[in-house]
Amino acid sequence: MHLENLSATTIDGQEQQLKLYAGKVLLIVNVASKCGFTKQYADLEILQQEFGPQGFTVLGFPCDQFGHQEPGDNAQIAEFCETQFKISFPMFAKIEVNGPDASPLFEWLKQEKAGLLGTESIKWNFTKFLVGRDQRVIDRYAPTTRPTELRGDIQQALSLPYTSADK
């Protein structure tokens, strides 16, 4: 399975093929509005502004599986992101990242890059996956890793030429 074969629902309810992001470096994050890490939205937006023109995109996926920290509906989440953080990167509809109803995207991400001690499950909000231009998962980062700490990894990924994942 490749990222280009997957789709996700945008926060405003539109089905979007993820092949739209082919050739871009992606930081895919499960986010929440009422989490101790919620302030990372600001860092994610900084990265989007800094690296977006070079072919980088943050993709935010709200999730309510950890401590009921994303209780709102998609409209409330979108409003929160706009009013509190002026988010410009794509936000998607609320999903599950673990269990039988887990998003196929997060199932793929977890299979591609296991967590600490080889565990696949997402442990908390703001787990981050860096995906290269070739649609391969470069690395997985813990919720405690601030997004701005990833600058070097993002720059390195952006410096690599785009080649199709099928080659």
Q: CB pairs under 8 A, 24+ apart, for 115-124?
A: 115/140, 115/142, 116/142, 122/30, 122/63, 122/65, 122/97, 122/98, 124/35, 124/37, 124/66
> Is residue 58 within 8 Å of residue 27, measured between CB atoms?
yes
CA-to-CA distance for 17 and 128, rounded, in angstroms?
20
Is 63 designated active site? no
Q: Could you tell me which of 20, 19, 58 has the C-alpha nearest to residue 154?
A: 58
CA-to-CA distance for 4 and 30, rounded, in angstroms?
19
Q: Which of 3, 25, 31, 35 is catalytic?
A: 35
Q: Supply angle C-alpha 114, 118, 119, rounded to 5.
A: 75
Q: How many CA atoms lie within 13 A of 97 on its CB side?
A: 29
Which residues are catalytically annotated? 35
